[in-house]
Every structure is written in C-alpha cells, then in structure tokens.
Amino acid sequence: MESTQPNRDNTPATLKQRIDSLRITLKEHNYRYYTLDTPIITDAEYDRLLRQLEALETELGEPIPSDSPTQTVGAPLSATFQPREHGEALLSLANAFDAGEVEAFVRRIHDQFGDQFGNQADDQPLRFIIEPKIDGLAINLRYEQGKLTVAATRGDGTVGEDVTNNVRTIADIPWHLQADNTDTDSADIPDVLEVRGEVYMSKAAFAELNARQDAEGAAPFANPRNAAAGSLRQLDARITARRGLNFFAYGVGVGGRHIATNQSDLLSRLHDCGFAVQQTTLVNSSAELLQHYRQLQQQRASMPYDIDGVVYKLNDFELQDRMGAVARSPRWAIAHKFLAEEVETTVHRIIWQVGRTGVITPVAEMQPVAVGGVTVSRATLHNIDELHRKQVYAGAQVIVRRAGDVIPEVVRAVDVDERISFPKAPDHCPACGASLFRIEGEVAIRCSGGLSCPAQLTEHLRHFVSRGGMDIEGMGDKLIARLVEEHLITDIADLYEFDYASLRDWPGMGAKKITNLQAAIEQSRHRPLARFLYALGIRHVGTATATALASYFSTLNHIMQTDAETLIDIPDIGPEVATSIISFFSETHNRDVIQRLLDAGVQPASRQMTLSDHPLSGKRVVLTGSFAAIDRRMAQEKLRTLGAKPTGSVSKNTDIVIAGEKSGSKLTRAHELGIEVAGEKQLLAWLNP
C-alpha cells in the first residue's frame, strides 16, 4: 500500500517517482472499484491518495498527462486489444507421441553432456521435472519493480495482445509480487520479471458457465479451453471477472535467471511470489517419466481442470541453456500428449447412413456423453465388419472416443451379452430401397441406386456446391434437401437448368435471396477445371488429385478420353485412383450429366487462373494456428500472389479466418465477430485452384 507519510525530500526526481507510484496505485484502485466492483480501500482513503497526488503534481509544476487519475474518472473500457511485444519470445513445445520418442528425448540430452552426466548412477544425474500440461492458453505477465504492468497473450510468440485488464480479474495472478518471506527479500526480485503460465477454466467453472449460457439461451462453449479463450478476450473485463478463470505459472522470460537456477526452485519461488503452481515431480530416467505419464493419465479424469498431456523439462537452467532451441522449440523440454480420452455410454440404436458415394455406414446413436470436451450422441462404427468385431448392438455398453480428438467413434463394447444377436447389414438401401452390393475386396456395402437414391443425391449435390467445388453460395443444406425431396432436382446438371424464380413462394426465399442464388450459379459456370473435377465427386479424387489432373491434361475432354496407363504416369495417381477415374468417365450416365452441364454453359476454365478469378482475390484473410501440410508464412505468401490480402489480426474488416491446429484467440475473435472461418483443407484447395 502507498505510504502516506509526508515526503520531505522534494527534488524533482523524487517527486516524479512518488507521482508515478501514486498514479499506478490509484489506477489499480480505480480498476478494482469501477471494473471489478470490489474496492479494497474506503472512499475516504481513496480521496486522500488522490489529493496527495494532486498536490504533488502541482508541486512538480509539469504538464499533467491526460491519463493521470487526477484527470480521469473511472477505468476506461478498452476498445481493442493492443499488440505487445514480449521481452523474450515465448517458445512452444515439441511433442513426443510414444515411449520411444520420450526415450529418444532423454538420450539426446544424455548424449549432449556425454560423460559429464552420462551415467545415471553418477553423483549428479540429469534431473527431469514432470509437469501436467494444462489445456488452456499461454500468457506472458510483465512485472516492473514487482508490479504487474502488462499481461499479453502468446500471439505469434514474439508479439501478443494486451489483455492486462482482463488478467487482473484472475485471482491466481498477483498484482504485486510478494516479497519472499523466507531467507531473502523483495530486493531479490529483478526490476523486470516476465512470468509465463497458462490461463485455464476449471471443470467446475466450465459446467457452471455452460449452465448459465443455457439458461440465457446462449450457445454453450465446446470445452473449457475455448471457454477460457473466449472469456479472456472480452472487451469488458467485468465479463471476464464473472467467468472464474484460473492461472498456473510454469515459466519465466526476462529476469527469470535472477530468481532461480532450476525449474523446481523456480516454481517454489513463483509460489512464494503469490502464484498458483502445479504439483511436479523430479526424476532422472525415462522409465520414471513414462511411469508418471501413466499415473497422470489415470488421474486425468478426476483432476479439477483439463490436462492434455505431460511436459518433461530438464531441470537445471544452465544445462537448459546449453541444450538451446531448434526452430521455436527448446531441446530441453518436450510435451507427451495423452491419447484421446475414452468414456463409457449406452447405445440406443444403430442406424445406417448413406453417404455421397453410396457407402452405407453403421452409426451408433448413444446416450449423450461428454468426451474430449464435447457432448457426443452419435459415433461412427465405420462398417459392418467393424461393428461385428467391436460387438456393438442396441443396448450395448460401449467405450467411445474422438478419433484424432475430432470424430467420435466406438472403440469397443464392454461386458458383451453373448446371447444377443448382433445387427445384420440391411438388405436394401435405407434411403431408397435399392439393392446393396459389395465391391470385391472391400468391406463397404453400397447402395446401387446411384443418383436416384435421395440420400446419395443430397450428399452429392452438397459436395458439388461446396466451397472447394463449384462454390455456389446460398445453396445450403436445407434448400438442397427440399429440392431433392420435391424431385425438383435429380442430378447436378439440373442445378443449371432449374428455374430459381419459381422458389419465390417458398418460406425463407425472398427476391434478394433468389437473385443472389442465380448470380452464384452464374458465377460458378467458370470455375477452374480442378475445382470442377473435384466437384464431380469421383471416388478417390480429392483436391490434390483434381489439381494434378487439371494441370496435366488442361482440358476436360482430354481427361475424359485418357487411359489408365497415362493416368498412372501422373505423380500421386496410383492404379486404384486411375481405375476409379476411368470407370467414372466410362459410365454413360456420368457422360450424359457432363454433357448437359456443358450444354447449360458450364465451362471449366482450364487456362492458368488470373488473379481476379481466385475466390480470395481482394479478400482480407487472417491465417491462425499451425497447418499440417504447409508452413503458415508460405501459405501467406502464396495467398498474396493469388490476390488475397493476408493480415495479422482479426477485425470486423476481416473477410475470412483460416484456422489450423491450435488456433487460439484469433479464431475465438472470428466467432465473436461472426466472420467466416475455413480450415486447412479449404486453404489447400484455395492454394491449388
């Protein structure tokens, strides 16, 4: 607390120091009072400090800045999040996916130090610290003279966004570093200290928040991580304050080496300074690392907050420095992620779904259950063989997980009742009644109805109009479903022959919508050849194959007349894909549809695209997160050459946000602003039109 003793040393330098200190103190009280609604001093005490500041400012006789508490009333709400450069870059962690990779990590470190610590029976074995990997978002806290001055999100590791006001609402984060009350004093804290850690939402706070969202008719958050990110990025810190966020400190940047010489001492030091830190363990062999990994995986479900793995760090800072970093990941630490979370639930029934290519897939409808942060009520069983292998039936207790942490799947049944007869595959297509068949050597059962099957037709049309395909905006799922249901559209060529004006009287189809739809249909007539090929929905022909075909042949005619041998010569096209392409174009029905498309004025553009043709031409695009197939910077460069305008931050002027893995605040912001969001697949399609 600010001293109220009269100050007799009135040199300008001392006066300035006192003024600065009082301004910070008063700003904090303003903030607690106006934003948090939780003042910690009386109004009288506040007034006395304010008068004291006024007197000192007068005494100094210099112009008073407009943000001095004597000139402002209340803490202002920030309009946006300002960029903030971190003192030291925030690194990220490389991942180990199995025991072998953990062993290799430990071995690399032993190799680096050779004989010095090579033998684990040594007096000084290399020590590793094990920390749970919190599933939240990284924050850098800057303390100057022990006071919290800036809190910024990780951003790109070098520059983050200023979320200081919001972070101040998190009880685990001290506004002032507490002096160590053991053997040292506050003089030990460096002038500037950066503390790093993870902001997260506990499972309990998450459940409470979603119950509140539900009661208010608002959309629930998918998982605690998203909820934490959304809550931290509120322009009104009072909202953040109500969300009950938490924080664990796990690292330091600038100044860090002054307060500890190893990670385990650092954590206790940070704890003494007033931070919450996690329980950790020190070990010295990979066997012990793996043993603790298994232990934490067991404890994971009962922990009060989500963890998505374990972090192993070489404990000693000097040795860490000697190991250094590769790219943006330190060589002295690694994250060992957990395998997908598995939960148990009951199957209510098994349904058979018909996909675009006619494949009939068994799907389990289940008692809704939370897994990997989302509620799941359906899970794929892939095919009839899998269904039998996993012994799944209506009423079975099953283990469910999200494959790759995304698509829910049934792993196996538990306590199988052998008396039950397992479901058989249907004899006829559940959507159109046509007979089913199996291609030799394949497990999938298919509907023979082709495009006369409404389920296949619907999926086929959805694929054709999709963004990676002909990109017909306004042709949504509901409209397609109804057009199919009413037999108004029976194949993709009908899309170009249909009289859209006749939809005038349909609910939700105003004149404007119809005009836009007609314009979108018109525009789609000239999509590049690669997109057209992809849109046709030929088995095994995804964006990459379609692009390869288009650049090799350059006209549709050539592709339609080619043979398997020629196709196999094209890089990335194997016999299976070649057969599929040949058989697609040899089918009379498909040739007829293509002819009708051409007759209706569809002219796939085979020439090199010009910039203004590209769907992203002139669009303001933000890339966020990491992509498996392409480096973000490269993608940005490529987008620029295609006429797009890649920018760094999401605002209301952004047209599209392309989000990869681990997209954080930018994705959240996009959702908040209702901006179109695309994924990596779409990005690749755009990059290879």
* Positions that interact with ligand IVH (CB under 6 A): 91-93, 131, 133-134, 138, 154, 198, 250-251, 311, 330, 333, 335
Nearer to ligand IVH, 255 or 330 (CB): 330
Which C-beta is closer to ligand IVH: that of 253 or that of 615?
253
C-beta closer to ligand IVH: residue 260 or 544: 260
Q: Token pair 């609402």 is at which residue? A: 169
Pick between residue 96 and residue 392 the one whose CB is nearest to ligand IVH: 96
Asked if residues 474 and 519 have their Cβ atoms less than 8 Å apart, the reply is no
Q: CA neighbours within 13 Å on the CB side: how many for 585?
A: 17
- How near is the Cβ of 379 to ligand IVH at its closest, in Å? 28
Which residue, 95 or 375, has its beta carbon nearer to ligand IVH? 95
Token pair of 674 as six digits: 């209702």
CB of 160 to ligand IVH, least distance (A): 11
Q: Distance (Å, rounded) from C-alpha 278 to C-alpha 168?
A: 20
Closer to ligand IVH by Cβ: residue 24 or 333: 333
Q: What 3-state class would DSSP assign to 48?
A: helix
Q: What angle do CA 653, 658, 664 make, to 5 degrees?
A: 90
148 versus 311: smaller Cβ distance to ligand IVH: 311
| Residue at token pair 């018909």 | 354
Query: Which CB sits closer to ligand IVH, 69 or 136?
Result: 136
Active site residues: 133
Q: Are 541 and 533 in contact (CB under 8 A)?
A: yes
**Beta strands 656-659; 676-678: pairing state:** parallel
Smallest distance, ligand IVH to C-beta of residue 92, A: 4
Shortest Å distance, C-beta 93 to ligand IVH: 4
Q: Which amino acid is at 202?
A: S
Name beta bridge partners: 128: 283, 314
Q: How large is the angle between the packed helices 665-673 and 224-232, nearest 10 degrees?
A: 70
β-partners of residue 246 are 200
The CA–CA distances, whole Å, from 521 to 515, 517, 546 equal: 10, 6, 21
CB-based contact 400:343 (threshold 8 Å): yes
In this structure, the number of other CB atoms found within 10 A of the CB of residue 457 comes to: 25
- Give the integer Cα–Cα distance in Å for 289 and 91: 22
Give the nearest distance from C-beta 565 to ligand IVH in angstroms.
Answer: 48
Euclidean distance between CA atoms 218 and 215, whole angstroms: 8
Q: Taking the complex as a whole, how short is the minimal distance between the CB of residue 209 and ligand IVH, in angstroms?
A: 21
Measuring CA to CA, which residue among 192, 190, 189, 197 is closest to residue 140? 197
- Residues β-bridged to residue 678: 658
Cβ distance to ligand IVH smaller for residue 101 or 214: 101
Closer residue to ligand IVH in complex, CB, 92/647: 92
Q: Note whether 170 and 247 are within 8 A (CB).
A: yes
For residue 330, the minimal CB distance to ligand IVH (Å) is 5
Nearest distance in Å: CB 333, ligand IVH: 5
Closest approach of ligand IVH to the CB of residue 251, in Å: 5
Residue type at 339 in one-letter notation:
L
User: Taking CB positions, which residue lies at the least distance from ligand IVH?
Assistant: 138
- Of the pair 321, 442, the CB lying nearest ligand IVH is at 321
Cβ closest to ligand IVH, residue 76 vs residue 324: 324
Q: At 10, phi and psi to the nearest 5?
A: -105, 30
Which contacts (CB < 8 Å, 24+ apart) does range 201-206 have? Answer: 201/136, 201/225, 201/227, 201/228, 201/231, 201/243, 201/244, 201/245, 201/246, 201/305, 202/244, 202/246, 202/304, 202/305, 203/303, 203/304, 203/305, 203/306, 204/304, 205/243, 205/244, 205/245, 205/246
C-alpha pair distances (Å), 411 with each of 291, 306, 357, 401: 25, 22, 25, 7
Contacts of 161 (CB under 8 A, 6+ apart): 81, 82, 83, 84, 152, 153, 155, 233, 649, 665
HEC assignment per residue over 540-590 = CCCHHHHHHHHHHHCCHHHHHHCCHHHHHHCCCCCHHHHHHHHHHHHCHHH
Q: Which of 131, 130, 132, 134 is nearest to 289 (CA)?
A: 130
We find the least distance from the C-beta atom of residue 304 to ligand IVH, in angstroms, to be: 15
How far separated are the first and last CA of the chain, in Å rounded? 63
Residue 247 C-beta: closest distance to ligand IVH, Å: 11
SS3 letters for 619-651?
A: CEEEEECECCCCCHHHHHHHHHHCCCEEECCCC
Q: Quote the least distance from Cβ 204 to ligand IVH, whole Å.
A: 19
